[in-house]
């Protein structure tokens, strides 16, 4: 029995599930603070920019400090992860041997461990190296934890690239590093876009790791900034919604800039290997 209306109905329900939180944020960003708790689902009539203005002009500069720290941590982490993952992924994809299989299995185990499980040992290592409560320590943590994901994405894509291209370049006298940077890496743009989008969103939205590694007073990111904007006995919900709205804009712009390669990067290498 065919039900032609079932698929559109399911798609509509799924879209509504994702749209409702977005509607609450957008509606309450442009609503007066005293109306948010009384009418959280009502339309912002009349609309106001007072919440955004209040966030941007806070005396403690919470938003600007949080965004700056998040941009630095996310940019450095994504760049290092992309380059390191691409190089290691290429090496593992083109190298055959029992030890490479063991290393691949070890990296696969790294994908299965939640970051909260290793957070305490990581903080001990960062304290020993005097990197605790620093942005450098948070960047190193991100690189160490997320590099297995990047490697597996690049490995799947590199296996779909003909090895004959690399062999021809090496016959012409190119070194292995020249082959990678001049021949292979330019072909990895779809996979690079996928890795950068996934890792950028994950690192930007991370909460518990910056909260623990940076500490309560040494630094803040956009996620911990939203948390710290809520007081123990009171909260300016208008500012909280404005912070959430402004914090989502950079990563949204980042996705839109790379989304042209996103789907291609996910599907490439899925049928070859």
| Cα distances (angstroms) measured from residue 189 to each of 14, 20, 60, 176, 209 | 31, 34, 40, 19, 29
54-72: per-residue pLDDT in tens? Answer: 888 888 888 898 899 999 9
Q: Is residue 273 part of a domain?
A: no
At residue 37 the predicted structure's pLDDT band, cuts being 50, 70 and 90, is confident
Please indicate, yes or no, whether residues 125 and 180 belong to a single structural domain of this protein. Answer: yes
Q: Is residue 246 part of a domain?
A: yes
pLDDT at 216: 65
Residue 205: CATH number of its domain = 1.10.3720.10
Assess whether pLDDT exceeds 70 at residue 263: no
Report CA 8 to chain centroid distance, whole Å: 31
Q: Is residue 242 part of a domain?
A: yes
The pTM of the full predicted model, rounded to 2 decimals, is 0.83
42 is in which domain, residue-wise? 1-48
Q: Is residue 166 part of a domain?
A: yes
End of a domain among 12, 28, 48? 48
User: Read out DSSP for 26-75?
Assistant: HHHHTS-HHHHTT-TTS--SS---HHHHHHHT-TT-HHHHHHHHHHHHHH
Please indicate, yes or no, whether residues 256 and 133 belong to a single structural domain of this protein. Answer: yes
Assess whether pLDDT exceeds 80 at residue 258: no
Q: Is residue 272 part of a domain?
A: no
Please indicate, yes or no, whether residues 237 and 187 belong to a single structural domain of this protein. Answer: yes
Please indicate, yes or no, whether residues 74 and 40 belong to a single structural domain of this protein. Answer: no
169-210: per-residue pLDDT in tens? Answer: 888 888 888 888 888 888 888 888 889 988 999 999 998 899
Please indicate, yes or no, whether residues 44 and 62 belong to a single structural domain of this protein. Answer: no
Q: Is residue 53 part of a domain?
A: no
Please indicate, yes or no, whether residues 6 and 126 belong to a single structural domain of this protein. Answer: no
Assess contact for 259 and 47: CB atoms under 8 A. no
Q: Is residue 192 part of a domain?
A: yes
Assess whether pLDDT exceeds 60 at residue 267: no
| Number of compact structural domains in the chain | 2
pLDDT at 157: 86
Nearest-angstrom CA–CA distance, 216 and 66: 13
């Amino acid at each position: 029995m065919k039900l032609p209306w079932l698929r559109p109905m399911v798609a509509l329900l799924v879209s509504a599930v994702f749209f409702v939180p977005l509607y609450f944020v957008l509606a309450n960003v442009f609503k007066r603070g005293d109306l948010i708790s009384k009418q959280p689902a009502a339309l912002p009539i009349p609309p106001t920019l007072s919440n955004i203005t209040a966030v941007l002009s806070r005396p403690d500069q919470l938003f600007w400090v949080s965004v700056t720290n998040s941009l630095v941590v996310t940019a450095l982490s994504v760049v290092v992860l992309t380059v390191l993952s691409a190089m290691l992924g290429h090496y593992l994809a083109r190298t055959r041997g029992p030890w490479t299989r063991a290393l691949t299995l070890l990296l696969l185990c790294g994908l299965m461990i939640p970051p909260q499980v290793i957070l305490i040992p990581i903080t001990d290592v960062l304290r020993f190296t005097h990197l605790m409560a620093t942005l450098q320590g948070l960047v190193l943590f991100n690189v160490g934890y997320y590099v297995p994901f990047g490697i597996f994405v690049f490995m799947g894509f590199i296996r779909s690239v003909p090895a004959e291209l690399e062999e021809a370049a090496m016959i012409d006298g190119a070194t292995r590093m020249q082959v990678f940077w001049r021949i292979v890496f330019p072909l990895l743009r779809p996979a690079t876009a996928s890795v950068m989008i996934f890792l950028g969103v994950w690192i930007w939205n991370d909460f518990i790791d910056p909260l623990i590694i940076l500490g309560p007073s040494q630094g803040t990111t956009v996620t911990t900034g939203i948390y710290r904007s809520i007081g123990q006995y009171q909260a300016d919900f208008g500012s909280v919604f404005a912070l959430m709205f402004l914090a989502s804009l950079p990563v949204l712009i980042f996705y839109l800039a790379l989304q042209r390669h996103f789907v291609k990067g996910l599907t490439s290498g899925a049928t070859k290997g």
